[in-house]
Amino acid sequence: MHHSTNLILPSLLAADWSKIDLEVRRASAAGAQWLHLDVMDGNFVDNISFGPQMVQTVRKCTDMYLDVHLMIHRPDHYLERFIKAGAQNITIHVEANYDTSVAETLKRIRAAGLHCGLALHPSTPFEAALPFVRDIDLLLVMTVVPGFGGQPFMEKETMPKLAAARDYRAAHGLNYHLEVDGGIYTSTAPIAKKNGANLFVCGTSSFGPPDMEQSMRELAASVA
């Protein structure tokens, strides 16, 4: 898939976990091709969500592409479990602690036949990603401080960085997708699109409304 393709990715964090199976099918029926899964360790971020077992559970419910966002320290230590669980993309944070290194972890993800992503906290400059941009399939520009759904979109702090990542990609003939995550609604998705995003992670705005098919359609229309 080329980075000119726009996708709306529902984030499982905003689903009703009392009926995960139905929620995953609801997302798929609503037209989602990729599902975003937020793994939080209560250490890298101030919240705890779920781990590889949930990824495996979701894998059993769907053949959607699973985009796993690891908001955890030592992602290299836990990597194998998420690969086995059935992730198709694994995104790691450049700010996390590693037993090995960011480069080594990205290499291991690709060696396992998966796509790999690198995520930037809102306060981390694009330059922190520069040593790795030739070795990633996607760059995730966090548009909220990671840890919780339902936070407001940090336009001023993150859009210049997104545009810089887009311009760098064009200037150097690179191909990474640009993903935004946090506070994405029909009002903010077009701003992110204008600055280069093509993968739009939507939690509250996708699973929130009762008619998910309609919310997905409206989100897609806002970036068409």
Site string for ligand DX5, 149-168 (x = CB under 6 A): xxx-----------------
Distances (CA, A) of 123 to 93, 104, 144, 158: 12, 24, 10, 8
> Catalytic residue at 211?
no
204 binds, among ligand DX5, Zn ion, none (CB under 5 to 8 A by kind): ligand DX5
Among 147, 180, 189, 193, binds ligand DX5 (CB under 6 A): 147
Between strands 199-202 and 65-71, the pairing is unpaired
CA angle (140 as vertex; 10, 56 as ends), nearest 5: 50
**Which of 46, 18, 34, 63 has the alpha carbon at shortest distance from 201?**
34
> Catalytic residue at 38?
yes
Residue 117 binds ligand DX5, judged by CB under 6 A: no
**Which of 210, 207, 212 has the alpha carbon at shortest distance from 14?**
207
3-class DSSP assignment, residue 161: helix
Cα 104 from chain centroid? 20
- Judged by CB, which is closer to ligand DX5: 105, or 204? 204
Of 94-102, 148-156, 173-181, 215-223, the window that binds Zn ion (rule: CB under 5 A) is 173-181
| Strand order through the sheet with 199-202 | 7-10, 199-202, 177-181, 138-142, 115-120, 89-93, 65-71, 34-40
- Judged by CB, which is closer to ligand DX5: 141, or 201? 201
Among residues 21, 67, 181, 211, which one is catalytic? Answer: 181
Among 3, 26, 69, 193, binds Zn ion (CB under 5 A): 69
Of 23-31, 96-104, 131-139, 180-188, the window that binds ligand DX5 (rule: CB under 6 A) is 180-188
Among 3, 7, 8, 11, binds ligand DX5 (CB under 6 A): 11
Residue 181 binds Zn ion, judged by CB under 5 A: yes
Structure tokens at 131: 């040593």
DSSP state of 194: H
Active-site annotation, residues: 38, 181
- Residues in contact with Zn ion by CB under 5 A are 38, 69, 181
- Residues in contact with ligand DX5 by CB under 6 A are 11, 13-14, 36, 38, 69, 144, 146-151, 181-184, 201-205
